Chains A and B, each alone.
Chain A
Amino acid sequence: DIQMTQSPSSVSASVGDRVTITCRASQGLAGWLAWYQQKPGKAPELLIFAASSLHSGVPSRFSGSGSGTDFTLTINSLQPEDFATYYCQQAKSFSLTFGGGTKVEIK
């Protein structure tokens, strides 16, 4: 199975900050990577697919980049509703796998 390693596991930030989350795959994914946001008690929501494509309805302050084994999710100008846990997920091969999650907390 492809292992997904996210960092950091948590980050404290203020409204207006830029936040960067990284995800590293144990094997090359080309661009087969997604990012999800999950708020407590809620289902995850797709933010980014194919490494850099913004899902419909997702604010443009979210962006994704990378290919191969190293990927990044960037949140520009953090908003109050962005405090949540973020997961990366490889979509290249079965078994599909997720990163361990990054919790974005209020500083």
Chain B
Amino acid sequence: QLVESGGGVVQPGRSLRLSCAASGFSFRLYGMHWVRQAPGKGLEWVAAISYDGSKKYYADSVKGRFTISRDNSKNTLYVQMNSLRAEDTAVYSCAKDISGSTLDNYFDYWGQGTLVTVSS
């Protein structure tokens, strides 16, 4: 199970940190991703992190502003979002990579998501 938290309404230029609590699988063995969906729009991949946190990847739209991280001792995935813009408004979901030890980039389990609204 994946449960996101930390969403809310934030002003442009401010920061927010989202969390994703994982249970029911060996979190430390799997890569993880963040994917977002703007209201009424399609899916957009945001960031990925390897099982041990040594490799991180970002969409161009968030590179330099978002930071993905994980705490395997707490079974929790994070994304720190800085310099937020109106176009970052979306439901943010965490997703588990299908493969252990490598990032195969298929998302076999998803959380329900947390809504982030960037507005003044």
Residues of A that sit less than 8 Å from B by CB: 1, 32, 34, 36, 38, 42-46, 49-50, 55, 87, 89, 91-92, 94-101
Contacts and interface: CB of A to CB of B under 8 A. Distances in A.
B21 to A, nearest CB: 15
Nearest to A94: B57
Binding site of B, secondary structure by majority: helix, strand, loop or mixed? strand
A87 B44 CA distance: 11
Interface residues of B, number: 21
Contacts, number: 58
Contact of A98 (B42, B57, B58, B110): B42
Contact of A32 (B42, B48, B58, B105): B105
B43 A91 contact: no
B45 A97 contact: yes
Given A43-B111, A43-B112, A98 B45 contact: yes
B31 to A, nearest CB: 12
Interface of B: 33, 42-45, 48, 57-60, 93, 98, 104-108, 110-113
Nearest to A95: B59
A43 B48 contact: no
Which of A50, A92, A98 has the most chain B CB atoms closer than 10 A to its own CB? A98
Contacts of A1: 60
Nearest to A96: B45
A99 B42 CA distance: 8
Nearest to A45: B110
B93 A95 contact: no
Contacts of B58: 95
Q: Which 9 A-B pairs give the minimum distances between C-beta atoms?
A: A91-B105, A43-B110, A96-B45, A49-B106, A94-B57, A98-B43, A95-B59, A101-B42, A34-B106
A87 B43 contact: yes
Given A49-B104, A98-B44, 18 more contacts: A36-B43, A36-B107, A43-B93, A43-B112, A44-B43, A45-B110, A46-B107, A55-B108, A87-B43, A89-B45, A94-B57, A95-B57, A95-B58, A95-B59, A96-B48, A98-B45, A99-B42, A101-B42
